[in-house]
């Protein structure tokens, strides 16, 4: 997903783990039966819904319209992550050990190659306007001299950015909130991605995302 990283850098420098049983592998995708008005393009059915990356976290791709992604070094695109039952977290399938790249509750650790991020996608169940808010905190100690920070982005599926933030170790231990109101069509996907600045040393990052439909 290098193109997203490059696009968001251009913008920047110019201006509770809930487990749903029975999933795991990336091929297993659940289209949430818990959501009202499934397959109906009517945003009013979702005005009382709050989609939250922490409260909705699951071992199922697609549960409550959330998807878990990692950068694919083979073709410069995104791939679905794999849920590792032993460690209880989402992992990149491109690591030899399911340790170095993962999502575990609110803690994200991006891949160790510059430009390849990990993240979550929210697929809009209906057309309308949504409010998105992401609270991001780099967990590294600012005294670490060999960490160089992370880049967090909000973009569409093609990688065109809505917002982004470069967070350095000196800015660690504080929350950064990125908020946007975005017009979506049913089936559009909003991506929330975390990239290493150059490598993933000390890049543990706390991420919490909320998406909510707005009334007319």
The predicted structure's pLDDT at residue 196: 84
Q: What is the 3-state secondary structure (H, E, C) of 198-210?
A: CCCCCCCEEEEEE
What's the structural domain count of the chain? 1
Asked whether 192 and 154 are in contact (CB, 8 A), the reply is yes
Band of pLDDT at residue 75, cut at 50, 70 and 90: low
Distances (CA, A) of 56 to 18, 51, 60, 115, 162: 6, 7, 10, 27, 23
Q: For residue 108, what are the β-bridge partners? A: 103, 205
Would you call 7 helix, strand, or coil by DSSP? Answer: helix
Each residue's pLDDT tens digit, 37-51: 567 899 999 999 999
Q: What count of Cα atoms within 13 Å lies in the side-chain half-sphere of residue 142?
A: 8
Rounded Cα distance, 132 and 114, in Å: 26
Who has greater pLDDT, 4 or 162? 162
The boundaries of the domain holding residue 193 are 2-130+137-213
pTM over the 0.95 mark: no
**Tokens found for residue 170:** 């000196």
């Amino acid at each position: 997903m290098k193109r997203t990283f490059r696009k968001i850098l251009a913008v920047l420098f110019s201006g509770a783990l809930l487990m749903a049983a029975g999933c795991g592998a990336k091929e297993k995708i659940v289209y949430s039966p818990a959501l009202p008005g499934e397959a109906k393009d009517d945003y009013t059915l979702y005005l009382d819904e709050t989609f939250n990356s922490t409260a909705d976290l699951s071992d199922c791709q697609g549960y409550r319209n959330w998807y878990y992604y990692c950068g694919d070094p083979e073709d410069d695109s995104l791939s679905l992550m794999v849920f590792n039952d032993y460690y209880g977290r989402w992992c990149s399938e491109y690591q030899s050990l399911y340790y170095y790249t993962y999502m575990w509750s609110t803690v994200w650790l991006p891949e160790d190659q510059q430009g390849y991020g990990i993240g979550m996608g929210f697929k809009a169940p209906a057309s309308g306007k949504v409010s998105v808010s992401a609270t991001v905190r780099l967990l590294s100690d600012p005294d670490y001299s060999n960490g160089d920070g992370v880049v967090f982005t909000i973009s569409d599926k093609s990688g065109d950015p809505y917002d982004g933030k470069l967070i350095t170790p000196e800015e660690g231990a504080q929350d950064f909130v990125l908020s946007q109101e975005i017009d979506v069509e049913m089936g559009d996907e909003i991506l929330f991605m975390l990239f290493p600045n150059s490598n993933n040393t000390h890049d543990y990052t706390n991420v919490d995302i909320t998406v909510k439909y707005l009334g007319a």
